[in-house]
C-alpha cells in the first residue's frame, strides 16, 4: 500500500504518514487512525496487567 492510499483510508494527510515513517512526531489520534487503516487496534493498558495470550506462561505445569 502506498502512502497516499494509507492516508486516504486513515483520513490523515500524506505528510502525517511520512512523519510516522521517519519517526517524527505524530499525534496519538492520527497514529490510531493509521493503525486501524492497516487492520490493527491500538490498546493502552496498565504495564503490570496480564494479557490473555500470556496466561499459559503463568499457569503451565512445572516439569
Q: What integer pLDDT is reported at residue 56 of this predicted model?
A: 72
Helices 3-10 and 14-21 sit at what angle, rounded to 10 degrees? Answer: 110
Contact (CB, 8 A) for 42 and 35: yes
Contact (CB, 8 A) for 34 and 41: no
Q: What integer pLDDT is reported at residue 50 of this predicted model?
A: 67
Nearest Cα to 30, choosing from 4, 48, 12?
12
Q: What integer pLDDT is reported at residue 5 of this predicted model?
A: 97
Q: What integer pLDDT is reported at residue 62 of this predicted model?
A: 66
Domains of the chain: 3-59 (1.10.260)
The secondary element (H helix, E strand) that includes residue 19 is helix 14-21
Tens of pLDDT, residues 3-60:
999 999 999 999 999 999 999 999 999 999 999 999 999 888 788 876 776 677 667 7
Q: What integer pLDDT is reported at residue 58 of this predicted model?
A: 64
Amino acid at each position: 500500500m502506498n502512502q497516499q492510499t494509507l492516508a486516504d483510508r486513515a483520513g490523515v494527510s500524506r505528510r502525517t504518514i511520512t512523519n510516522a515513517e521517519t519517526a517524527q512526531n505524530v499525534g496519538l489520534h492520527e497514529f490510531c487512525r493509521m493503525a486501524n487503516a492497516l487492520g490493527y487496534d491500538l490498546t493502552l493498558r496498565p504495564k503490570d496487567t496480564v494479557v490473555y495470550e500470556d496466561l499459559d506462561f503463568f499457569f503451565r505445569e512445572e516439569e
